[in-house]
Amino acid sequence: MKDEVTLRQFRYFIAAATSGQFSAAAVSEHVSQSAITSAVQSLEQQLKVRLFDRLPHGVVLTAEGQVFFHHARHVMDSVNDAMRHASLLPQTATGTIRLAATYTVLGYFLPDLLSRFKRSYPQVEIDLVDMDRPTLEQALADETIDLGVGLLSNIDVPQRYGHHLLVRSRRRVWMAASHPLAKQAVVSLADIERCPYILLTVDDAEAAAMRHWGAASPALNVAMRTSSLEALRGLVAYGFGVSILSDLVYRPWSLEGKKIMAIPISDPLAPMDVGLLWPSTRQPAGLVDVFRQFLIHACDSDNGISAAGSTQRAALRSR
């Protein structure tokens, strides 16, 4: 009798797709690598398509695998929703969620999650507004939004807002492939402060850059400032300077097709924390709470949809 597709196969496949390696998927799922391999091979046999390209340093989704990945994740989202609440709203539920997000979150984190939520609740409207941190905090205080998604690492959250951490993303130093430090396996903050620095000016990035050095913050040799992350990629890729940024927004290529390296830093650095915020005087309820719980569990089940997995997949696609 033909084997049936199981949720475990879906889970193992998703883990392999998000990590970019069968070995890393095995670690995250606490199983042997052969279990991941077997699950993927079984899916490929039943679907009669190849889901992954096998590369020397990992795996990357094929075009067919990418399509199946979105379907598989929707299946797991639906299962998680069903198991999480006996009182979930039906898919025919209607209403509007007032949501605000900061620059980095809106551009590099939320779109995929919003798409997944809309597939489960197609008739729910999401009134999404792009806000800088001060404006988002004021909107929370005025209760003109239901939820905010921003960088918790830039906000004094414990006393002022309800909050939940969604993703913790490490920071590395970006540089051109031709940069003298690019040959090193790891660099120090002392190495970095001697280099021209490209400074991002959105999402409190300038204050964050100074915090890396603490009280001994140096006078950074700032070569250029920009509010555009894509412009920063280009400037770094062409060798105008280096920059410390999160893996959440890393890609190995600039828009011009120039290679960008991301090198670990030996000194301890605070990660970039992305999280949910809501007014402290009003606990989310009803449709807003369903959306909040969806984001929390989607990020938990993805096992870091952003951090290491996104970086690894981007690097694999660049080979």
Please check whether residue 89 lies inside any domain of the structure: no
Please check whether residue 315 lies inside any domain of the structure: no
- Check whether 108 has a pLDDT greater than 50: yes
Average pLDDT, the chain: 85
Contact 238, 179 (CB under 8 A): no
Same domain, 141 and 194: no
* CATH code, domain with 44: 1.10.10.10
Same domain, 108 and 226: no
- Check whether 265 has a pLDDT greater than 90: yes
Same domain, 159 and 302: yes
Residue 73: the pLDDT is 82
Please check whether residue 319 lies inside any domain of the structure: no
Containing structural domain, residue 123: 95-167+272-310
How far apart (Å, rounded) are the C-alpha atoms in residues 108 and 173? 18
Please check whether residue 63 lies inside any domain of the structure: yes
What values do phi and psi take at 173, rounded to 5? -95, 130
pLDDT per position as a tens digit, 5-27: 888 999 899 889 888 889 888 88
Please check whether residue 19 lies inside any domain of the structure: yes
Same domain, 57 and 199: no
Contact 313, 16 (CB under 8 A): no
Please check whether residue 157 lies inside any domain of the structure: yes
Same domain, 156 and 302: yes
Q: Which residues pair with 59 in a beta bridge?
A: 54
Lowest mean pLDDT among 18-32, 83-97, 140-154, 237-251: 83-97
In degrees, rounded to 5, the angle at the alpha carbon of residue 303 between the alpha carbons of residues 301 and 307 is 140
Same domain, 20 and 66: yes
How far apart (Å, rounded) are the C-alpha atoms in residues 319 and 36? 23
* CATH code, domain with 216: 3.40.190.10
- R_g over Cα of the chain: 21
pLDDT category, 241, cuts 50, 70, 90?
A: very high
Lowest mean pLDDT among 80-94, 240-254, 255-269, 271-285: 80-94
pLDDT per position as a tens digit, 34-57: 999 999 999 999 999 999 988 777
pLDDT per position as a tens digit, 180-236: 999 999 999 999 999 999 999 999 888 888 888 876 666 788 999 999 999 999 999
Same domain, 105 and 131: yes
Please check whether residue 295 lies inside any domain of the structure: yes
Counted domains in the chain: 3
The larger pLDDT score, comparing residue 60 to residue 187, is at 187
Pairing of strands 95-101, 147-151: parallel
Handedness of CA 282, 285, 291, 292 (dihedral sign): positive
Same domain, 157 and 278: yes
Same domain, 255 and 177: yes
What values do phi and psi take at 212, rounded to 5? -60, -35
Is 190 exposed, middle or buried, given 0-12, 13-18 or 19+ CB atoms closer than 10 A? exposed
269-285 as b/e: b if 16+ CB within 10 A: beebbbbbbbbeeeebe
Please check whether residue 317 lies inside any domain of the structure: no
Which amino acid is residue 229, in one-letter code? L
